[in-house]
Amino acid sequence: MQEHADKQRQSGKTITFVPTMGFFHDGHLSLMQKGRKMGDELVLSIFVNPAQFGPNEDLDTYPKNLERDLELAEQQGVDIVYTPDTELLYPEGYQTFVSLETLPNFLCGISRPLFFRGVTTVVTKLLNIVKPHAAVLGEKDFQQLAIVKQMVKDLNFDVEIISVPTVREPDGLAMSSRNSYLTPEQRPCALTLYQSLCRARDLIEEGTTRAAEILESAARLVTSYPETEIDYIAVSDPVTLVDIETIDNPVLMAMAVKVGSTRLIDNMILTPQ
Ligand code: AMP
């Protein structure tokens, strides 16, 4: 992969990169479509990164369908799908990790303490292997996007990070590979995330400025559904991720909710009048 990237760069070609864990949905396809429009060569990776899963998380059961993914990637005009084995990226004796000081200490990082260290480590490795000019990431994983942008800036990575808006099901549920875990009974409960975000947007449009009011309303909505458990609901500064009390500028509303044993996340930027 590195030799190939060198050749492409030497011949003046630009490389765009879409990192994924596979089991594609329209969100992934939208990243590929964005990437296809950008550079000469579009490289996609499929790698379920063990370093970003906690001991009791779904590493072993994470959904896979490589054959279908390859077909979809081909249809989107992807040039190369890079699917390294775990032993190739983390051989015996592996010992280097990349972690940020502050941004991982909020939101998802609280209940998943090693998650972002795993993400930033694998993204660093993949950027060094694929050597792209630009990488495309989804706003669905807002904190991950913020962390990768910060890392790229802090460590002088010579790559541009491009983001793509969240792609949703017709009823509003943010597309996620993990939606496949939901039972038919749980599927309506999963909508509570998007509904809470929309209700918050409405409250802000009506003039609410107290974050506490928005958080209470969201918590009430989520807990009105069966099988739901709130991990966090936060109204935060979209740059620092620090909690906000009074909404007088655009804020990030982000949430993680377990529906049964499936942990779902979603977010929205809320802009006061
Ligand atoms: P994953 O395979 O879940 O690790 O996601 C790979 C990339 O796709 C990440 O940059 C995600 O933010 C992005 N992504 C996942 N779901 C969506 C979605 N519903 N809309 C847009 N991008 C998404």
Rounded CA separation 227/20 (Å): 29
Residues with CB under 6 A from ligand 1: 20-21, 27-28, 30-31, 137-138, 140-141, 164, 166-167, 174-177
pLDDT digits (tens, 9 = 90+) for 204-217: 999 999 999 999 99
Domain with CATH 3.30.1300.10 in the chain: 177-270
Return the CATH fold of 2-164.
Rossmann fold (3.40.50)
Is 4 catalytic? The answer is no
Q: How far is the CA of 173 from the centre of ligand 1 (A)?
A: 13
CB 164 within 8 A of CB 33: no
Q: How far is the CA of 176 from the centre of ligand 1 (A)?
A: 7
- Return all residues near 83 (Cβ < 8 A) that are at least 6 apart: 45, 46, 47, 66
What predicted TM-score, i.e. pTM, was given to this entire model? 0.98
| Mean pLDDT of the 162-170 span | 98
CATH of domain 177-270: 3.30.1300.10
Domain with CATH 3.40.50.620 in the chain: 2-164
Pairing outcome for strands 228-236 and 160-164 = unpaired
What is the per-residue DSSP string for the chain? -HHHHHHHHHTT--EEEEEE-SS--HHHHHHHHHHHHHSSEEEEEE---GGGS-TTSSTTT----HHHHHHHHHHTT-SEEE---HHHHS-TT-------SSGGGSTHHHHSTTHHHHHHHHHHHHHHHH--SEEEEEGGGHHHHHHHHHHHHHTT-S-EEEEEPPPB-TTSPBP-GGGGG--TTTHHHHTHHHHHHHHHHHHHHTT--BHHHHHHHHHHHHHTSTTEEEEEEEEE-TTT--B-SB-SS-EEEEEEEEETTEEEEEEEEE---
**If pLDDT is split at 50, 70 and 90, which confidence band does 57 have?**
very high
**If pLDDT is split at 50, 70 and 90, which confidence band does 255 have?**
very high
What does the pLDDT read at residue 73? 98
| Set 4, 25, 28, 133: catalytic member | 28
What does the pLDDT read at residue 273? 85
Residue nearest to atom 6 of ligand 1 (CA): 20
Residue nearest to atom 13 of ligand 1 (CA): 138
Q: What is the mean pLDDT of the chain?
A: 98
> What's the CA angle centered on 23, arms 21 and 26, to 5 degrees?
105
What does the pLDDT read at residue 41? 98
